[in-house]
């Protein structure tokens, strides 16, 4: 199961769990010190290791990562700009709760980009590119059989990135990732749902089959169906788990 997906019925008290085991060491990330702190914190937030509404205690994070307050403050400011944390004056810094408004907007933008991308790719895809997609699908099948949800999630993301890069437009994958960031975090709530991973795999297989057939309309239809499943699964969670959402 993905870290944090075993969220309890009632939200844990802020700071009740140690940050250490939930933060990857900085030497596993590239870039400047502040950027590595940012990546470590962002990963913990996106995987729900740090839960919506949970307090981020800067002194504890400094101790765990072995850094001063400056790179942590810089990382938190960057995360706040992305809407992943909320800084409340005189109260502290908290992991942002999910916002359905932001999730819907992100899903809309991602769909617009991916539908245009997959239509373009269907008309120009090479056999070498299809080989990469088929290999990715085979790995997905193994991960589903092993119930390796984190591995499947990563491979899922890689498949979408492959299709975006096949357009030849170098900025597209980055734009899509930025648009998808809030959806990306929220989707961790549903991947372990019974049958959802298997259904996701089938949706991916349909997309690749349409690309193999070099059928732009079928590729668009399969991609649209796949992307819209996420919102359909997330909408009921607003009522079922209101403590995770901000009420938007």
Q: What is the pLDDT of residues 44-95, one digit of tens each?
A: 998 889 999 999 999 999 999 999 999 999 999 999 999 999 999 888 999 9
- Identify the H or E element spanning 88: strand 85-88
Mean pLDDT for 194-214 is 94
Starting at the earlier edge strand, list the strands of the sheet with 55-56: 55-56, 92-95, 85-88
Whole-angstrom Cα distance, residue 130 to residue 144?
Answer: 21
Per CATH, which fold does 20-95 belong to? Arc Repressor Mutant, subunit A (1.10.10)
Is the pLDDT at 166 greater than 70? The verdict is: yes
For the chain, which residues make up each domain, given as ranges?
20-95, 100-244
Q: How many helices (H) and strands (E) does the chain have?
A: 9, 3
**Residue 238: what pLDDT?**
85
* Strand 55-56, strand 85-88: pairing: unpaired
Lowest-confidence pick of 20-29, 32-41, 206-215, 218-227: 20-29
Yes or no: domain 100-244 corresponds to CATH 1.20.120.530: yes
Q: Nearest 5°: CA angle at 241, between 236 and 245?
A: 90
Mean residue pLDDT of the chain comes to 88
Token readout for 102 is 């932001």
Mean pLDDT for 22-44 is 94
Percent of the chain with pLDDT over 70: 90
The tens digit of pLDDT for each residue in 219-228 reads: 999 999 999 9
């Amino acid at each position: 199961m993905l870290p944090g997906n075993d969220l309890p019925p009632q939200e844990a008290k802020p700071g009740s769990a140690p940050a250490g085991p939930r933060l990857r060491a900085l030497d596993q990330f590239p870039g400047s010190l502040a950027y590595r702190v940012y990546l470590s914190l962002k990963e913990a937030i996106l995987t729900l290791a740090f839960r919506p509404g949970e307090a981020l205690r800067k002194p504890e994070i400094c101790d765990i990562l072995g850094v001063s307050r400056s790179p942590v403050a810089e990382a938190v400011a960057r995360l706040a700009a992305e809407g992943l944390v909320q800084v409340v004056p005189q109260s502290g810094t908290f992991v942002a709760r999910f916002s359905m408004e932001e999730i819907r907007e992100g899903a809309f933008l991602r769909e617009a980009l991916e539908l245009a991308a997959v239509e373009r790719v269907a008309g120009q895809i090479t056999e070498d590119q299809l080989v990469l997609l088929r290999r990715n699908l085979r790995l997905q099948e193994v991960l589903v059989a092993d119930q390796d949800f984190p591995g499947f999630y990563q491979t899922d993301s890689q498949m979408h990135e492959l299709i975006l890069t096949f357009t030849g437009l170098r900025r597209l994958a980055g734009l899509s990732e930025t648009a998808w960031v809030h959806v990306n975090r929220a989707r961790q709530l549903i991947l372990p749902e019974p049958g959802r991973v298997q259904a996701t795999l089938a949706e991916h297989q349909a997309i690749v089959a349409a690309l193999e057939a070099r059928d732009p309309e079928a590729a668009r239809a399969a991609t649209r169906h796949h992307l819209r499943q996420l919102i359909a699964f997330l909408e009921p969670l607003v009522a079922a788990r209101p403590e995770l959402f901000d009420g938007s």
